[in-house]
Amino acid sequence: MAIVAPFRGVTYNFDKITNIEKVVAPPYDVISDRDQEEYYKEDPYNVVRLVLGKKKIGDSDWDNRYTRAADLFKRWESEETLIRSQFPSIYLTSIEYESPDNMETRTRWGFIALVRIEEDDSSVILPHEKTFSFHREDRLKLMRACNAQFSPVFSIYEDEGNVIASTSERIKDSPPTVSFRDRDGCYYKMWEVNSGSILKDIALKMSSKSIVIADGHHRFEAARNFRNLMRARYGVHRSRAYEYVMMYLTNIADKGLTILPYHRLFNSYPDFKMKTFLSSARKWFDILPFPFSTNNQEKVKRAFLAQLKEHGHDKTAIGFYHSGYRDYYLLCLKSGAREDLGNDLHPSLRKLDVLALSRIIFQRTLGIKRDDLDDERIIQYESDTGRALSSVLSGDYQMVFLVNPTKIGQVLEVTGNSLLMPRKSTCFHPKILTGLVFNKIDPSETIHYEPPSPVGHNQR
């Protein structure tokens, strides 16, 4: 069962830091070098200095961005820029945002709490994507240096009746602990909830749930590796702080939950010939061109994207644009073409657009080796469709392949079969900001969790 517990979170001192929007940042792995520089300039207390500190010439084992983050974390605590809650709490959050797919205003509700780390075969915490080993190792180094988790793992759970969220319904009418609008226009509210009855009720109702990791797989794996290191030093104590990971949890049925696609951008593909590519791709795809000129480019682009979405309702449709040609192309997978994806794939994986793109277009049509598909020097990822196309139109990238969002039902089907999707199959939007609350890990500290009684658990 899922063990969900409150914790004494560390937050910015909201009496001292009044412009919270200037000190928060997205998860570190979506921050570019340019973004990093901007966040550094934004505010001397911006969280980027903790989660993605700058490298320096002469960095060593005893002086590097991880050790500097640890020193900074201690300094901010000592000067009370950061303060720790006196009481174990969960952190209820709402995020109001404009959905990129239809410009509709949505609000997503969730809460930040601790979840006890389980093993791979437990069926309690389920990953859905593969990860890059570099990111796991990087986050582990930061965690070891700071004894803290700065960014929550974004996870989802099934609760069709929204029973868990209704537990804290009355909290929503009270003034939030903090509220602000971030640089992307998302409006955040957060409440620190420490009512014993609410905390117990949430723990009880979550205990029957499985949790699916939506974003932050590498952070979860780093937390488990950190736990294993702590176990080797201090022993296996299931109630100790190092046995837990900080998670942001939201209901799959929440109306504010949005999944965006990750489009694939190529820096360079030498000797690309459009005629050869299209000729080869026609074995598996019906191809519809959208020629444009300078005068009608925007109109054609809208029609192209509308058709990509329309065809994606019941089949695999992939959009394609190359900077050297004046056509958009829509590639629709032919009936029966999935058979060529390979005999090693489970039926739930065969349905994924990203696997059709990877195996048929990238590997068979373009001849890219499977190992090279994970090389970020070759392929970059962008969830914003407009930015993806603009970066090719501007010449920053050579070509782009556009996909439709993975459906939540597909995520549940894959995880339900204990399988993993390819990397960057989903982009849960908006990502949860770093800087709302931190989890400080004292190896001797006990996390107070009151498990549900056997009678009460069975009655549910």
Per the structure, the complete domain to which residue 389 belongs is given by 262-404
Same domain flag for 277 and 371: yes
For residue 366, count other CB atoms closer than 10 A to its CB: 17
The tens digit of pLDDT for each residue in 336-357 reads 999 889 888 999 999 999 999 9
Same domain flag for 84 and 61: yes
Average of per-residue pLDDT across 392-413: 95
Q: What is the pTM of this model?
A: 0.92
Residue 5 DSSP SS3: strand
pLDDT of residue 456: 42
In this predicted structure, the answer to whether residue 66 has a pLDDT above a threshold of 60 is yes
Total structural domains within the chain: 2
Same domain flag for 308 and 223: no
C-alpha torsion sign, points 372, 377, 379, 380: positive
Same domain flag for 73 and 219: yes
Query: What burial class does residue 141 get, using C-beta atoms within 10 Å of its C-beta: 0-12 exposed, 13-18 middle, 19+ buried?
Result: middle
Average of per-residue pLDDT across 325-329: 93
Cα–Cα dist 351/214, whole Å: 19
348 CB-near residues (< 8 Å, 6+ apart): 410, 413, 414, 416, 417, 419
What amino acid is encoded at 78 in this protein?
S
The tens digit of pLDDT for each residue in 128-141 reads 888 767 788 999 99
- At residue 459 the predicted structure's pLDDT band, cuts being 50, 70 and 90, is very low
pLDDT of residue 453: 59
Task: Determine contact, residues 379/403, Cβ cutoff 8 Å.
Answer: no
Q: Which residue has the higher pLDDT, 326 or 130?
A: 326
pLDDT of residue 455: 45
- At residue 451 the predicted structure's pLDDT band, cuts being 50, 70 and 90, is low
| 417 assigned to some structural domain | no
Task: Determine contact, residues 47/435, Cβ cutoff 8 Å.
Answer: yes
The tens digit of pLDDT for each residue in 36-59 reads 999 999 999 999 999 999 999 999
Same domain flag for 203 and 347: no
The tens digit of pLDDT for each residue in 13-23 reads 999 999 999 99
pLDDT of residue 452: 58
Same domain flag for 323 and 244: no
Same domain flag for 221 and 278: no
The tens digit of pLDDT for each residue in 254-293 reads 999 999 999 999 998 888 999 999 999 999 999 999 999 8
Q: Which residue has the higher pLDDT, 371 or 73?
A: 73
In this predicted structure, the answer to whether residue 458 has a pLDDT above a threshold of 70 is no
